[in-house]
Amino acid sequence: MPMAKKKPSKKAVRRSTTKKVAKKAAKKAAKKTTKKKVIKRTASAHKKTAKKKSVRKVARKATTKASKKSITKRAAPKKRIIAGKMVYAFGKKNEADRSMKALVGGKGANLADMTSIGLPVPPGFTITTDTCAAYYKNNKKLPKGLMAEVAKHLISLEKQRGKKFGDETDPLLVSVRSGAAVSMPGMMDTILNLGLNDKSVKGLATKTGNERFAYDAYRRLINMFGDVVMGVDHHHFEAAFDTIKAKYNVNDDTDVPAEGLKELCDAYKAVYAKHVGAKFPQSPVKQLELAINAVFRSWNADKAVSYRRIEGMTGLNGTAVNVQTMVFGNMGDDCGTGVAFTRNPSTGENKFYGEFLINAQGEDVVAGIRTPLHVDEMPKWNNAIFKQLIGIKKILEDHYGDMQDIEFTIEQGELFMLQTRTGKRTGLAAVNIACDMVREKRITEKEALLRIPAGDLVQLLLPYFDPQAKEANKALATGLPASPGASVGHPAFTATEAVERADKGEKVILVRKETSPEDVDGMHSAVGILTSTGGMTSHAAVVARGWGKCCVAGASAVHINECEGTFTVNGQTFGRGDMISIDGSTGEVFAGSMPTITPDGISGNFAKIMKWADKYRTMGVRTNADSPADAQRAREFGAQGIGLTRTEHMFFEGDRITAMREMILAETTPDREIALGKLLPFQREDFVGIFTAMHGLPVTIRLLDPPLHEFLPHEPDAIQRVATNQGVSVDVVRKQVALLHESNPMMGHRGCRLAITYPEILSMQVRAIVEAVIECSNNKIKAMPEIMIPLVGTHQELSILRKQAQGVIDTVKKEQGFKKKLNIKIGTMIEIPRAALTANEIAEHADFFSFGTNDLTQLAFGYSRDDINTFLPDYLARDILPEDPFQSLDQTGVGQLVEMGFTKGRQTKPDLKIGICGEHGGDPKSVHYCHKVGLDYVSCSPFRVPIARLAAAQAAIMDE
Amino acid sequence: MPMAKKKPSKKAVRRSTTKKVAKKAAKKAAKKTTKKKVIKRTASAHKKTAKKKSVRKVARKATTKASKKSITKRAAPKKRIIAGKMVYAFGKKNEADRSMKALVGGKGANLADMTSIGLPVPPGFTITTDTCAAYYKNNKKLPKGLMAEVAKHLISLEKQRGKKFGDETDPLLVSVRSGAAVSMPGMMDTILNLGLNDKSVKGLATKTGNERFAYDAYRRLINMFGDVVMGVDHHHFEAAFDTIKAKYNVNDDTDVPAEGLKELCDAYKAVYAKHVGAKFPQSPVKQLELAINAVFRSWNADKAVSYRRIEGMTGLNGTAVNVQTMVFGNMGDDCGTGVAFTRNPSTGENKFYGEFLINAQGEDVVAGIRTPLHVDEMPKWNNAIFKQLIGIKKILEDHYGDMQDIEFTIEQGELFMLQTRTGKRTGLAAVNIACDMVREKRITEKEALLRIPAGDLVQLLLPYFDPQAKEANKALATGLPASPGASVGHPAFTATEAVERADKGEKVILVRKETSPEDVDGMHSAVGILTSTGGMTSHAAVVARGWGKCCVAGASAVHINECEGTFTVNGQTFGRGDMISIDGSTGEVFAGSMPTITPDGISGNFAKIMKWADKYRTMGVRTNADSPADAQRAREFGAQGIGLTRTEHMFFEGDRITAMREMILAETTPDREIALGKLLPFQREDFVGIFTAMHGLPVTIRLLDPPLHEFLPHEPDAIQRVATNQGVSVDVVRKQVALLHESNPMMGHRGCRLAITYPEILSMQVRAIVEAVIECSNNKIKAMPEIMIPLVGTHQELSILRKQAQGVIDTVKKEQGFKKKLNIKIGTMIEIPRAALTANEIAEHADFFSFGTNDLTQLAFGYSRDDINTFLPDYLARDILPEDPFQSLDQTGVGQLVEMGFTKGRQTKPDLKIGICGEHGGDPKSVHYCHKVGLDYVSCSPFRVPIARLAAAQAAIMDE
């Protein structure tokens, strides 16, 4: 069913949902959705009511409808908001719906929503966010009439559950939770078992025949209530528990017998009385009143306030309070608790997938003492419940139109749904589920595209470790997940060594403190790269990502002894003979060899998703590639051209570096020109290769960018070697190294500044490009080069160099008697803040702009990306930065420069082609931003091309 | 006579003039106006006409008027612009005036103006700029009727001079010059002697009785005409001249006899014919027509076009052509040529001052073969001419209201004025002349202030070398004039050595490759500083300027051998026993000891100027000072507070550095706190000293800014010493040095980033400030500290650190039982581009902003100021940068960030105090800019405070 005809209002609703999904996806980047995760979730324990029959009926009804419609048409009818009404029920009477999130909060809306589609949700009620606002207006006192309204709803709950609040024989117990319209850390979490007191706990014990259970519930209430509501430090309760455990000579909480828990309740009450200065309240209504007060208070807790400030949240009037009847999964063997996904979250297979524990509550699962059972085993235990769950799977998918992650509890043979939410999934599962759901006509192609966190696609291209093998191994050390993938090999400690050993067929992992352009050969030969310093945008990380090669960077626990050819981690030493495995997706380093799994590449559902993405996106996607092989691969991944070819990477191989060094050591322009003459054929050959691979597609070539010292060695031995090679004295080399030394090379003599002082370098490079174009043209290969001049900060630089380049183009054309039109564009990178500020002037001389957001970020923040790790962790931990600005573009600050550069550039030339070639070009959030700004294309490393394609499509769809 | 009643239009005229003066003043920075300069000027040679009598009459008349009026009332009556008129005469008939600059160009207006006040100017005419525009419209052909109009004016000239153009016995000769409304390099310069041909040259020879003179004039014409008009390369003529010189066996042009020059004319004609493909035109009118064509053509020469583009000149329609009759100073001993100033340009003394040569032309003066005579000697030669010149001095000063720089020629006993313009002068002369002229009621106080190039005031405060001694010495090497002044001493090669030898009473100049904060002690002990690397904003330069200590930086010819204690310049070696003299105002380094002169400081006329400046300026002026002594001095120079105290400079002396290093080497927070505890009393004491010196004035204290590695040594020996001092192993120190190493320390772990990771450092510093304030208060000293948090890039940083600082303030206040209000402001530097971009957010947490334009410039351009010298010279030479952006604020680019920071800051807080404390605070042009933006104050090094006061006054006056 096509989406195009939807009304804007609904679309807007959906868009905001999708945005959140995208946001979540970005946040979880480093986290994993593995099997382990499933059992680490808190599942709360609850108690019975809703009637099976009606549930089934509703479920059936919903199913019939659902098969005809896409989820978007199934928004529940709007409930009425009644002025002055402070409490909304869910359960038999369902007074709220999901459109009322602002009033009843996210959790309240969700509970009402689940109830409305007939799921067996323990009944309860929600006190509105308006009431919270009224509380603050009322000088932090509950507004008049609230507790009376609450009392009415309590009576309704008592009727529905057939129990009485505070009853001495069969008490109704409730949970109390906060819940604003947007989920927010820092607010009060949960109080369970509210309603118990010295008398009702006995009733509960008798009624359930489980004294231990009853007193355990009571001691939890006293603890939580004391801690969360009254502010008694948790460790006071811990101390009391320790005393009891010592008395009964047990280690685990669970081993304390019922008698001990009874004593513990008394001890807890004493702790409470001592620190609160009053007895633990025996009146359940008083308990509830105090808990409601605490929830409201927590809305203005420091952490919640600062979270709202950081996230820029305004317009919220407070938190709601959810009061829900309790159900318990630990009252006997006809009880249980579990979590499940409606489809397989790892593969996407359309099969109910989950785990459960018999006679347990959520906390037991967390404690990890017992191994849960797979849901496939549930029929053997209770087939009716299993069937009910399968029905619920369908209801949920019909209603939400997506795979759900649910929590449930079975109390004495009766199923209760405690939670449902969109399930997290692997990249593979996301792709498969989205495609399946389009096939099932549950969602449209566009919806399918919006469903897949673009960043997760990388998982579908790169090898990964067998999850079971990984689970069995403990990581030696963890660094930064600098370039995803998995690789296994023997450590090599220098680039030369890596090349030599790799040439002999050995699989090596290059292990270095940090890498520099000199190491590029060795990095290329290695199957993976491990560094002990450097960040996500260090040289190693950037180069590795460009190649799609696995890299772990900045693993600071790894101490390298290059001379001895060993490294040490926590006292364990590894040498050239040892095997190591590194996971570039997680940053983990393992001892030994672990089996890897290699995905299929772009085929099947993945290919289908890519086809859809290309259909809807409006922004181009290019790649950053420095070699014909990379270019070819990127083209296979769908790149529509090259957005950045770094010519300097070409200068490191074999004879080239010799000629390059000869050029650098030259003392006169003619000598430099001779050396450049030797480099020319290499450059030409490189360009012919790349043009051939990109036949018919544009190729942006950045002229020499790094400072020249990067091409000279710095260690005495290497200097000696270079001197010998170059036939000059060691002193000459040493002097040149010293001359080229800079305090801050990032801001030194590099980029177009080199071309200004050594025009002959630019001339050689442009000549190589033109000669290559002509050679290609003669071989019927369509080369479309775009010459990009880096590090421009003033329009004069570009004007001078453009003129020079144009002169070379004309000369070569004339020399070769080439008659056809040579359409070679000349443009610049916008990577210096001043270039963005004066983009109107610079555009006069540019055919295109490409934002170099790596350097732009460095300069806008004044952060050297090589040094940022000294303070970045603190900055992230203290929320000074929401995320690493080298990973995801800082839209607030750096973004202003991007927008300025864009607007001013287009002001001068309305048809100026503008792209981005920084690392951000492969970050989904940044791709969305680039679309919003209006860029023509993004360019990213080959392995991120599919990500960018999808992200661009998502941005276009969200922008419709 | 007060200026306030002038009409706006006139004011605007004056303002633009003053602006130009200010611009020129800035440009000449490095140049000097010395005696030498005077004789190095081209004085053109001309020929007689105007009548002595009438000149005197007019002169007398003008004088009488002038004594009653200020210059601004004396604007010449407007001449009529006549539609279609292409040529305007000056001379007997004077058809233009200085209001017609747009039409007749600057030079044409000047010639008309001089004529109109009765000066004896050789008559001529000007072809209008409109005619140039018509030429281009007419497909680069002279517009119809032009040559006819020219012919009419030629007839008038012939009548006035009693000679005929092209006459074979007594030819009228003319010069042809270009001249747009604004002076512009790249356009055609001058053609002299036009009108000569094979016949008239003979007439000229006969008439003057000087054959050599005639043929010399002719060969010059052929050469200039061939080169400038017809584009024949000058070297072809040179070659012909060489042949002749060889033939006559002479070395100098002037030794070639008349016969040889005759032959040379033939040879030149042959060169001309060969390269032009036509004979040298014998028709004087043809010569003139071709020359006019050439002038118009030159308007669109590449260099002129690019100059207009770079300077952003629009609205000009072309160049004018000035045709003027020639006069000659080299026709005999009753002839002469000279240049003079109407007052002494070195001291300002109101006495005619200049030099002349008998029987000579301008070029002879340039050749420097003959020594000119002082004008005082003129009466002995020709008293009438001398008296006439004295009369002209008065006419000129009355007319222009300023000291003039004139060129004159005496042809056969008759004086001709060739040029007058406002005379350049030293700072001292500028101050004295301005004050004298106010006393003479020629100008108002405001005009006086506008007259003085603010930057030149530094000459009135710092010692300088005796000009005569300087003239007698040749500089050994020239570096950058990093901090003005003159000093003489023995070289010292390390900071320690400098301190030790200075302590023994020796005068030492610290000679280092570059300096670092470790050298501060030695720099302080030395009388001057010389470095072989580093730029105008290198550490040495910045620190030296702060202290007003003489410094020459980046003298790359100086090769230092620190181990041997010597340095070598061009093979000459200097050791500890040798004396050297360095001139920080010019960058020169001299061998031996040269006598210095120390000015009087702020007194007399200088004090008067400062009083006037304070009366008119609206912007505050503070100083950058790190010690009580500096603060005291700055206060004497008129600083109204401290805008920047760099606390880190306090950490280098004696015991402090030990405690500082202990802090850095500490491995735990408690250990760090112990070391900080040792630093606390030092800091407190420093602050008490500064607060005392600045009693009642605000003191902005910047918290620790540099990266910690700057406090640790890097050489093995020094590391060993520190290890011993600190009682730790060498390895510990070495490890810490390695840990603190950064690739780009400028963008590394420094500024507020240190305070975020080591909050205890900030706490110690704030505590020291508060304790100092309380101590001062108890001693009745009013301390007004402003705590400045450096390197803020996000509002979160400032918010966190402000809260922390406020906490410390409250704690200390409580501890000490201090009851009075502590008004301590907390603000930040805006020096990170992102801070300017998000100033609205940052202002929320700031009581004030101070633009740190040094770092802001570094980051906006991506220029490391320590490394910029590798490309800056090329950038300046190729006009990529109009000037060093670290010297004068880049208003186009960096200025946008300043304006953004200002506007966004005030958006959030309309009363936010905003200043600037970068090096630019002492640069007049930047001060003007700061006034324009609206800053509350500028802050600069103590010795530049008077400059900033004057510049601020100028800005305010120009803004009225």
Q: What is the ipTM of this complex?
A: 0.78
Q: Mind listing the pLDDT tens digit for each residue in B719-775? A: 888 888 888 888 888 888 888 889 899 999 999 999 999 999 999 999 999 999 999
Taking 80 as the threshold, does the pLDDT of residue A110 lie above it?
Answer: yes
Q: Dump pLDDT digits (tens) for A537-596.
A: 678 887 887 777 899 998 989 999 988 999 999 889 999 999 999 999 889 999 999 999
Helix axes B795-815, B759-778, angle to 10 degrees: 40
Which residue in chain A has the smallest CA separation from B799? A880
Give kind and range of the element (H or E) at residue B913.
strand B913-916
Q: For residue A253, with 0-12 CB atoms within 10 Å meaning exposed, 13-18 middle and 19 or more buried, which class applies?
A: middle
pTM of the predicted protein model: 0.78
Would you call B838 an interface residue with chain A, using a CB distance cutoff of 8 Å?
A: yes
**Rounded distance between C-alpha atoms, residue A185 and residue B378, angstroms:** 93
Would you place residue A332 in the very low, low, confident or very high pLDDT band (cuts 50, 70, 90)?
confident
Are B880 and A756 within 8 A, CB to CB? yes
DSSP structural state of residue A142: P
Segment A405-428 mean pLDDT: 91
Instruction: Report the catalytic residues of A.
Output: 539, 917
Q: What DSSP letter does each residue of B794-817 carry, written as one string?
A: SHHHHHHHHHHHHHHHHHHHHHTT
pLDDT attached to residue A514: 86
Contact (Cβ atoms closer than 8 angstroms) between residue B347 and residue B28: no
Q: Is the pLDDT of residue A848 over 50?
A: yes
Strand partners, B788: B702, B827
Are A419 and A337 within 8 A, CB to CB? no
* Parts of chain B with a pLDDT under 70: 1-78, 310, 362-369, 537
Distance, in angstroms, between B796 CA and closest chain A CA? 5
Which of B46, B524, B539, B931 is catalytic? The answer is: B539
How far, rounded to the nearest angstrom, does the alpha carbon of residue A720 sit from its chain's CA centroid?
47
For residues B116 and A431, give the distance between their C-alpha atoms in angstroms, rounded to a whole number: 89
What one-character-per-residue DSSP string does B98-143 give?
A: GGGHHHHHHHHHHHHHHHHTT--PPPEEEE-HHHHHHHHHTTSSPP
User: pLDDT band for position A656 (50/70/90)?
Assistant: confident
Q: Is B414 on the interface with A (CB under 8 A)?
A: no
- Which stretch, A255-269, A303-317, B301-315, B460-474, has highest mean pLDDT? A255-269
pLDDT tens digits, A799-839: 999 999 999 999 999 999 999 999 899 999 999 999 999 99
Q: How far is the CA of B924 from the CAs of B455, B550, B553, B584, B867, in angstroms?
A: 6, 20, 22, 19, 25
Minimum-distance CB partner of B861 among A832, A863, A893: A832
**Is B710 an interface residue toward A (CB < 8 Å)?**
no
- Please give the pLDDT value at position A4: 38
Burial A456-493 (b: 16+ CB within 10 A, else e): bbbbbbbbbbeeebbeeeebbbbbbbbbbbbbbbbbbb
Residue B78 confidence (pLDDT): 64
Is B756 near chain A, with CB under 8 Å? yes
Residue B738, exposed/middle/buried by CB under 10 A (0-12, 13-18, 19+)? exposed
- How many Å separate Cα A583 from the centre of its chain? 17
- Residue carrying structure tokens 């940053």: A587
**Reduced to 3 states, what is the DSSP secondary structure of residue A564?**
coil
Name residue A671's amino acid. Answer: D
Alpha helices in B413-538 (DSSP H): 427-439, 445-451, 467-472, 495-503, 520-525
Please determine, for residue A957, whether its predicted confidence score (pLDDT) is greater than 80.
yes
Least confident of A32-46, A616-630, B381-395, B801-815: A32-46
- Concatenated DSSP letters for A679-746? HHHHHHHHHHHHHHHTTTSEEEEE---S-GGGGS--SHHHHHHHHHHHTS-HHHHHHHHHHH--SSGG
* pLDDT at residue B55, rounded to an integer: 26
Task: List the structure tokens of A457.
Answer: 């696609």
Compute the distance between CA of residue B871 and CA of residue B658 in angstroms, rounded to an integer: 38
Question: Is B529 near chain A, with CB under 8 Å?
Answer: no
Specify the higher pLDDT residue, A397 or A38.
Answer: A397
Are A858 and B743 an interchain contact pair (Cβ–Cβ within 8 Å)?
no
Token pair for residue A908?
């001068």
CB A457 within 8 A of CB A946: yes
d(CA A215, CA A332): 15
Looking at the DSSP bridge assignments, the partners of residue B622 are B939
Give the chain B residue nearest A750 (alpha carbons): B871
Using an 8 Å CB-CB cutoff, list chain B residues near A748: 864, 867, 870
A89-93, A424-428, B700-704: least confident range: A424-428
Residue ranges of the alpha helices (H) in B77-231?
A: 101-116, 129-137, 146-161, 200-208, 211-224
Residue A326: left (phi > 0), alpha (psi -120 to 50), or beta?
beta
Please answer yes or no on whether A794 and B833 come within 8 Å at the CB atom.
no
pLDDT of residue B49: 33
- Per residue in A904-928, is it b (16+ CB within 10 Å) or e — as a string? bbbeebeebbbbbbbbbbbbbbbbb
Which of chain B's residues have a Cβ under 8 Å away from the Cβ of A870? 742, 748-749, 753, 757
Give the closest-approach CA distance of A893 to chain B in angstroms: 5
Residue B863 CB coordination number (10 Å): 28
Q: Are A120 and A416 in contact (CB under 8 A)?
A: yes
- How far apart are the C-alpha atoms of B939 and B95, rounded to whole Å? 51
- Do the beta carbons of residue B933 and residue B899 sit within 8 Å? yes
pLDDT tens for each residue of A662-709: 999 888 889 999 999 999 999 999 999 999 999 999 999 999 999 999
Whether the CB of B941 is below 8 Å from some CB of chain A: the reply is no
Classify residue B632 as left (phi > 0), alpha (psi -120 to 50) or beta. Answer: alpha
Residues 854-893, chain B, touching A (beta carbon < 8 A): 855, 858-864, 866-867, 870-871, 874-875, 878-881, 890, 892-893
Q: Which residues of A touch B542 (CB under 8 A)?
A: none
Beta strands B596-597 and B464-465: pairing type?
antiparallel
Which position among B335, B752, B917, B940 bears the catalytic label? B917
In terms of Cβ atoms closer than 10 Å to its own Cβ (0-12, 13-18, 19+), residue B58 is middle
